[in-house]
Amino acid sequence: MRIIASKIIFTCFLIPATNLQLLINVRNQGGDVMQENITANVSEDTITLEFMRLDGVYVSQLVDFTNEVEAMKLILPGEEELGQSGHQTLCFLTHAAQADFITPDAMAKLRQKNPGTVRMAEEDKGWRQTTATAWAGRAARLLSPAAARHCGPARDQLYLRAADLARWAPRPGLEQSSYTSVVTPFPAHALASDVSEGTPLAACVSEPDPAKDCICHLEVCVNWYPCGLKYCKGKPQGGLSYRCGIKTCHRCHRYRHYVRRRDACPTRA
């Protein structure tokens, strides 16, 4: 399938950066078109990307550059055939790979030509696997106030992994080694990965008992996001390069987390 070149350019970077919101029409890998809303908040040093999937799942990804925290929020409507009412909100905190997004300051300088254009990402970043090992609890507020607000509706379905706790810098009033004291690890049997550690829990999709605990698998793809800057060469006399556009990427995420009951795992995601 032909990739449509991005027609998003930079204004002169002598103009002060301000908060910016972009509405982008994006074609996914299945050929369907959806709209993404991308907001750069320069004062908080965050970027938020939001969209509604065709199956009704709302996806909102926040990246806090100052605190190196990424928060992926999913709001899933209930499955009527499973007797679920209302909706579920889940959120996953991970250490932010900042190279994946351009900075809020750079984002705020973007101006879009031809806003009605349907776009496709230039590079496929593949899949990123995340296996949560704990409920985040109070750690979210300590790690990133912006992420804590973003994930507020998730409440007790806010997850992180112990491996990331060691990557975040210590916060004021809290030693790095004390992060583990403000999270709630999953039960030991939920963390077993082989026979020597115990019997691994079944995946929820293969667990017949709706009241039994299991490991839930969720997948979400971000079909288009600004993942880098492009530079063009100046006039031959000067020879200096300047920012002239952005590189765009596609990435999918697989999240694994423990649930106390199989019917707490949203199967549609």
Q: What pLDDT is recorded for position 195?
A: 39
pLDDT in tens, 216-226: 999 999 999 99
Q: What pLDDT is recorded for position 157?
A: 95
Can you tell me the distance from the alpha carbon of 94 to that of 109, in angstroms, rounded to the nearest whole number?
Answer: 27
Share of the chain above pLDDT 90, in %: 54
Share of the chain above pLDDT 70, in %: 82
Cβ-Cβ contacts under 8 Å for 186 (sequence gap 6 or more)? 132, 133, 134, 135, 257, 258
Cβ-Cβ contacts under 8 Å for 145 (sequence gap 6 or more)? none
Q: What pLDDT is recorded for position 14?
A: 36
Q: Which residue has the higher pLDDT, 171 or 155?
A: 155
Q: What pLDDT is recorded for position 7?
A: 47
Q: How confident is the model at residue 13 (pLDDT cuts 50, 70, 90)?
A: very low
Q: How confident is the model at residue 82 (pLDDT cuts 50, 70, 90)?
A: low
Residue 10 has pLDDT above 50, yes or no: no
Q: Which residue has the higher pLDDT, 230 or 152?
A: 152
Q: How confident is the model at residue 12 (pLDDT cuts 50, 70, 90)?
A: very low
Can you tell me the distance from the alpha carbon of 188 to that of 182, in angstroms, rounded to the nearest whole number?
Answer: 17
Q: What pLDDT is recorded for position 237?
A: 59
153 CB neighbour count, 10 Å cutoff: 15
- Residue type (1 letter), 2: R
Q: What pLDDT is recorded for position 258?
A: 96
Residue 154 has pLDDT above 80, yes or no: yes
- Residue type (1 letter), 120: M
In degrees to the nearest 10, what's the CA dihedral of 247, 127, 120, 269? -140
pLDDT in tens, 232-246: 877 655 667 777 778
Give the predicted TM-score (pTM) of the model.
Answer: 0.85
